[in-house]
Chain A
């Protein structure tokens, strides 16, 4: 099925460990995003990539890095995980057309716990 695929769905890390969250879309979208969702804080933008080869910081980039590997894939890396990074992470993508953005599509999320 077409859409946004995130892996893994669940992960437990120890403080200081590193990991990469993977995201891939098969809708030929040009823009991709990483969000984190925390209770009472909504979804906050970590990083985004407007097009292949570009990445930009969002609202809460500290402690994260991203790679736009190609048009389909956008990965999020935690170099040294901290308990404050315990959250649910969502990847999203959209196609920018004349007149604005249409159809942001979200992945099913990665629930990350850092102990």
Chain B
């Protein structure tokens, strides 16, 4: 069965620090990968997605993610975080052979000024 692991449950950073959030998935077929963000009290918004092609994907608000097929990973990065990036971040995966979008447990990011 598909599963997604996010090993960082809670990350605390100061503004301007660099960010990397880990995401690993378990599925051997062709996958589509996503990162979503949820700001306090709001619903999920798509940050970026990977379907095919260049494994380095750029999203909104300066976020990017790299798909490393050999490692089953899709880590999220941002060179310099801002206080407004405080939110919960979710990695998710689906595939051509299933109609299910499966989420990781999320990483709570707190950025202090």
Interface residues of A (CB under 8 A from B): 31, 33, 35, 40-45, 48, 50, 56, 58-59, 90, 92, 94, 96, 99-104, 106-109
- Say what secondary structure dominates the interface of chain A: strand
* Residues in A whose Cβ lies below 8 Å from that of B106: 40, 42
Cβ distance B96 to chain A, nearest Cβ, rounded Å: 6
- Say what secondary structure dominates the interface of chain B: loop
The CA-CA distance from A99 to B6 in the complex, in Å, is 26
* Residues in A whose Cβ lies below 8 Å from that of B94: 100-101
The CA-CA distance from A20 to B60 in the complex, in Å, is 35
The CA-CA distance from A100 to B43 in the complex, in Å, is 23
B52 within 8 A of A: yes
A-B contact pairs, 18 of them (CB 8 A): A31-B99, A35-B103, A43-B44, A43-B103, A45-B101, A45-B102, A48-B99, A56-B99, A59-B102, A90-B43, A94-B101, A100-B51, A101-B32, A102-B49, A104-B34, A104-B46, A104-B101, A109-B43
